[in-house]
Amino acid sequence: MAVVMFGGKEPNLKNKMKPMDQRLTIVTIGVSNLQKLTAFYEDNFGWKKTTSSSAAITFFHLNGIELALFNREELAKDASVSAEGKGFKGFTLAYNTRNEKEVDDLFSSLEQKGVNLIKKPSKASWGGYSGYIADPDGNLWEIAYNPFLKLDVKGNTTGE
């Protein structure tokens, strides 16, 4: 590709490129045991796999995005990075509710199912109410009520 020089300078092509849409399509979690983690989300959260799931990958359709479960080693290989890593992973997943009682009710239900409760719900420093659970691979889920986050009738954030 030839670059045409204007006054000895390369043209600024950055402003002419279409920006990336502000959206998220799939969150993929690298898991140690696909069947075990799939069962965790089905049995404890009551989620249903999509028909595009297979023996190699599980998809759960959420509110406008997909949550995918995929073998950790294979996911690292696909990204050309090491699969090694322990401890805090540097991210959490969040499920937001419409009120504090809903947080407490979910925690009660998950505790009865034997889910690993990391932090029981309490008032949060940022003004909401939240607690944390972990799936069998230690992926942290925050279950929270955020009075500053507007949700539509389907539980989607409104961006306001």
User: What is this structure's pTM?
Assistant: 0.76
Residue 1 has pLDDT above 50, yes or no: no
Average pLDDT estimate for 139-147: 93
Domain with CATH 3.10.180.10 in the chain: 25-82, 90-152
CA Rg value for the chain: 20
Q: How far, in Å, CA of 48 to CA of 151, rounded?
A: 22
Mean residue pLDDT across the chain: 87
Quote the CA–CA distance of 118 and 124 in Å, as a whole number: 15
CATH class of 90-152: alpha beta
DSSP state of 22: S
Q: Specify which of 22-26, 61-65, 80-84, 98-102 reaches the highest per-range mean pLDDT.
A: 98-102
What would the mean pLDDT of 84-91 be, rounded to a whole number? 77
Any idea what DSSP says for residue 136? T
What CATH number does domain 25-82 carry, 3.50.50.60, 3.40.50.620, 3.60.15.10, 3.10.180.10?
A: 3.10.180.10
93-127 pLDDT, tens digit per residue, is 999 999 999 999 999 999 999 999 999 999 998 89
Model pLDDT for residues 10-56, shown as the tens digit of each residue? 655 556 777 877 878 899 999 999 999 999 999 999 999 999 999 99
